């Protein structure tokens, strides 16, 4: 059987004005993969995602989501997205955890339609899946950064997307919660078979959980199995980052 | 007092219109405040004033317009102003708040020109600026009722989209919500409510009925629905008590209503502080 690709990028280039941000990106993400993308600041991570989410149109190349060219792609509820929200959202916003998670279903349900009983159940399940049931009726602003990030994951998974994209989801999450956060992602990937793409600069944690690793710095340098990436060792990584880099060892 | 409401039609009209406005103004206000657009209502109310002044001017010069209800001209101007606000906000992407002073000063400028051409102030204009209990006609009540039905209906139908757009616009766009269309519908609703409210609260004070009850509400509300509930409660409280007081003490209702809203806000802030200890 032919491998099914959830996301495919072919020769994608993007530039703002004169500056090239992405150059000739090729990426193929098979169904069920957990892809980690690492890259220094300014490597084009956010631009890459904006292209994949259809917010930016690359000048060159083609992007396919579930085999459909992105220009023709309409089933956006199949794609979930978690941004670096812990940094930027309005913490004074009067919304409960439940309301925030339910808003993840708005587009799927469609205009002029109300949430059904099934929807409400899906919301409770998503909150449960990220371990936030006890906080469902709390205001989102009262939670810690790590808890908020879990809520945003719940919002992204409530519509049961097949592909979940996470942009530095652990920024602003305190160090103790990062590990349990990755364990949760691992479960989504294994248990629900959700395809995950995660951007991070935390190389130490990433190689432990993911199935594929890619390095981004304008170009996409490596795209292979996680075990092979570990073999590359420090030297290659330093070259890639342009400065020596400490790869954190895992504490088992 | 209560008998007076039954006895005099003008009082009854004022109360019915007031209760409707006390409901819809804070309802839209919640979305306005959380999106940090509190001043948009101010800008649009000044454009509405220009519409009223234009109507007064036309009425003075052409007998045909003299019997027109200025409500409609105000509404028309307000909606056009709303469209300009949205346009300006997309032109000045990085200075979105610039739209507000541009529209506000444009509205004032036009109003002043129209008013001076129409030979200056009269009591009619005064009632539009600060509200009046006696100025609400039966026709006004019907117009306000129609607007209230449209506003409540659309907010209910588009609730989940409006919520998502207010909470996280980027995510709304990514998930495929038609953000531009919904913004547009929303701002037109705001324009309609402002035009509907000016008889009671007056052009200069309507924005406070959209923001003050909400400011109090978000101090104590758990969740968005509760925030809407408290906002409407505080809005109605200000309007009803405000109208009663202004009739009893012969004050302009706009000022009385707004000062009550300020009082409620103060009480909520102090209560919240005291509760925290």
In three-state form (DSSP H/G/I as H, E/B as E, the rest C), the secondary structure along A175-188 is HHHHHHHHHHHHHH
Contact residues on chain B for A54, CB-CB shorter than 8 A: 174
| CA pair distance B76, B130, nearest whole angstrom | 20
| CA pair distance A6, A79, nearest whole angstrom | 10
B176 touches chain A (CB under 8 A): yes
Closest partner residue to A76 (CB to CB) among B168, B174, B222 is B174
Task: Report domain A5-85+161-241's class.
Answer: alpha beta
Where does B1-69 have alpha helices with state H? 2-7, 9-34, 40-61, 63-66
Q: Is the pLDDT of residue A139 over 70?
A: yes
B177 touches chain A (CB under 8 A): yes
Residue B250 pLDDT: 87
| CA pair distance B203, B191, nearest whole angstrom | 12
Residue B159 pLDDT: 94
Residue of B nearest to A50 (CA): B174
**Bridge partners for A219 per DSSP:** A217
Measured between CA atoms, how close is B61 to chain A, in angstroms? Answer: 46
Tokens of A96: 């409960």
Tokens of B264: 């409620």
ipTM of model: 0.84
Residue of B nearest to A74 (CA): B176
CB proximity list for A45: less than 8 A, separation 6 or greater: A37, A39, A167, A168, A199, A216
CB proximity list for B168: less than 8 A, separation 6 or greater: A85, A89, A103
Residue B230 pLDDT: 97
Share of chain A above pLDDT 90, in %: 18
B34 touches chain A (CB under 8 A): yes
| CA pair distance B24, B38, nearest whole angstrom | 15
How are strands ordered across the β-sheet holding A219-225? A79-82, A163-167, A195-200, A34-38, A212-217, A219-225
Total beta-carbon pairs less than 8 A apart between chain A and chain B: 86
The per-residue DSSP string of B200-253 comes to TT-TTTHHHHHHHHHHHHHHH-SSHHHHHHHHHHHHHHHHHHHHHHHHHHT--H
Contact residues on chain A for B221, CB-CB shorter than 8 A: 94
Contact residues on chain A for B168, CB-CB shorter than 8 A: 85, 89, 103
| CA pair distance B98, B37, nearest whole angstrom | 11
Q: pLDDT digit string (tens) for A169-190?
A: 776 666 666 777 788 888 888 8
Q: Chain centroid to CA B273: how far?
A: 29
| CA pair distance A227, B172, nearest whole angstrom | 37
Contact residues on chain A for B167, CB-CB shorter than 8 A: 89-90, 93, 95, 100, 103
Q: How many CB atoms lie within 10 A of CB B7?
A: 9
CB proximity list for A152: less than 8 A, separation 6 or greater: A82, A83, A85, A100, A169
Residue B153 pLDDT: 96
Chain A neighbours among B 81-110 (CB < 8 Å)?
none
Rounded to 5°, the CA angle B144-B214-A119 comes to 90
Which candidate in A72, A78, A95 is best for mutational testing of the B interface (most B CBs within 10 A)?
A95
Contact residues on chain A for B176, CB-CB shorter than 8 A: 74, 76-77, 107
B236 touches chain A (CB under 8 A): no
Q: What is the mean pLDDT of residues A72-99?
A: 81
Q: pLDDT digit string (tens) for A156-165?
A: 888 888 999 9
Q: Do A106 and B160 lie within an 8 Å CB cutoff? A: yes
Chain B neighbours among A 32-61 (CB < 8 Å)?
53-55
| CA pair distance A38, A36, nearest whole angstrom | 6
- Domains along the sequence of chain B with CATH: 2-272 (1.10.3470.10)
Q: Do A76 and B175 lie within an 8 Å CB cutoff? A: yes
Closest partner residue to A139 (CB to CB) among B34, B171, B223 is B223
pLDDT tens over chain B, length 277 residues: 667 777 788 888 989 999 999 999 999 999 999 988 888 888 999 999 999 889 888 888 887 777 778 888 888 999 999 889 888 888 887 787 788 899 999 999 999 999 888 876 676 777 888 888 777 888 889 999 999 999 999 999 999 999 999 998 888 888 888 888 998 899 899 999 998 888 888 887 888 999 999 999 999 999 999 999 999 999 999 999 999 998 889 888 888 999 999 999 999 999 999 987 6
């Amino acid at each position: 059987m032919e491998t099914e690709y959830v996301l495919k990028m072919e020769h994608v280039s993007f530039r703002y004005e004169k500056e090239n941000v992405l150059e000739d990106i090729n990426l193929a993400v098979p169904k069920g993969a957990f892809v980690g993308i690492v890259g220094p600041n300014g490597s084009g991570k956010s631009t890459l995602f904006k292209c994949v989410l259809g917010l930016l149109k690359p000048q060159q190349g083609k992007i396919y989501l579930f085999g459909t060219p992105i220009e023709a792609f309409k089933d956006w509820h199949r794609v979930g997205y978690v941004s670096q929200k812990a940094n930027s959202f309005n913490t004074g916003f009067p919304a409960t955890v439940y309301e925030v998670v339910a808003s993840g279903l708005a587009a799927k349900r469609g205009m002029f339609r109300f949430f059904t009983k099934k929807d409400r159940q899906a919301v409770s399940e998503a909150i449960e899946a990220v371990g936030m049931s006890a906080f469902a009726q709390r205001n989102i602003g009262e939670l810690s950064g790590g808890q908020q990030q879990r809520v945003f994951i719940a919002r992204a998974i409530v519509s049961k997307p097949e592909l979940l994209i996470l942009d530095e989801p652990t920024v602003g999450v305190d160090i103790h919660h990062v590990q349990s956060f990755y364990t949760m992602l691992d479960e989504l990937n294994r248990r629900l078979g959700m395809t995950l793409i995660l951007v991070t600069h935390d190389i130490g944690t990433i190689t432990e959980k993911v199935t594929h690793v890619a390095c981004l710095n304008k170009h996409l340098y490596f795209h292979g199995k996680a075990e092979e990436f570990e073999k590359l060792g420090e030297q290659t990584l330093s070259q890639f980052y342009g400065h020596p880099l400490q790869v954190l060892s895992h504490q088992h | 007092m209560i008998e007076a409401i039954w006895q005099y039609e003008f009082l009854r009209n004022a109360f019915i219109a007031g209760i409707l406005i006390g409901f819809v103004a804070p309802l839209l206000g919640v979305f306005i405040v959380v999106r940090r657009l509190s001043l948009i209502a101010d800008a649009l109310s000044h454009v509405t004033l220009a519409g009223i002044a234009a109507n007064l001017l036309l009425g003075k010069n052409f007998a045909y317009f003299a019997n027109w209800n200025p409500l409609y001209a105000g509404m028309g101007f307000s909606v056009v102003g709303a469209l300009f606000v949205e346009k300006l906000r997309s032109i000045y992407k990085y200075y979105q708040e610039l739209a507000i002073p541009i529209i506000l000063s444009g509205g004032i400028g036009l109003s002043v020109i129209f008013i001076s051409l129409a030979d200056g102030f009269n009591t009619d204009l005064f009632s539009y600026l600060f509200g009046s209990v006696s100025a609400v006609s039966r026709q006004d009540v019907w117009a306000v009722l129609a607007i209230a039905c449209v506003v409540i209906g659309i907010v209910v139908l588009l609730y989940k989209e409006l919520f998502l757009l207010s909470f996280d616009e980027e995510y709304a766009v990514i998930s495929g919500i038609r953000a531009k269309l919904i913004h547009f519908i929303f701002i037109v609703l705001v324009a309609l409510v402002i035009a509907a409210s000016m008889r009671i609260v007056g052009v200069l004070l309507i924005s406070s009925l959209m923001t003050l009850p909400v400011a109090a509400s978000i101090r104590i509300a758990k969740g968005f629905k509760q925030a809407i509930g408290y906002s409407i409660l505080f809005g109605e409280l200000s309007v009803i008590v405000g109208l009663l007081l202004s009739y009893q003490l012969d004050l302009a209702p706009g000022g009385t209503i707004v000062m009550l809203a300020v009082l409620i806000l103060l009480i909520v802030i102090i209560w919240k502080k005291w509760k925290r200890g």
